């Protein structure tokens, strides 16, 4: 039980890091998608 508890505590920061990493990647990917989309709109209406 104690071992399991220790394991959970050790995993917490790691999971926290992975959690935020997903957020950061999502923000950057969303920006890239927008830039591509805006480029296509620019070409289309030129």
Distance from first CA to last CA of the chain, Å, rounded?
Answer: 66
**Residues in region 1-30 near another protein by CB under 8 A:** 20, 23-24, 26-28, 30
Q: How far is the CB of 40 from another protein (least distance, A)?
A: 9
Phi-psi region of 43 (alpha: psi -120 to 50; beta: other; left: phi over 0): alpha
Q: Smallest distance, Å, CB 8 to another protein? A: 18
At 45, give phi and psi (nearest 5°): -95, 10
Q: Which residues bind another protein (CB under 8 A)?
A: 20, 23-24, 26-28, 30-31, 34-35, 38-39, 41-42, 44-46
């Amino acid at each position: 039980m104690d071992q399991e508890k220790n394991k959970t505590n050790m995993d917490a920061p790691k999971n926290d890091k992975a959690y935020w990493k997903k957020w950061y990647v999502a923000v950057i990917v969303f920006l890239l998608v927008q830039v591509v989309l805006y480029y296509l709109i620019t070409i289309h209406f030129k």
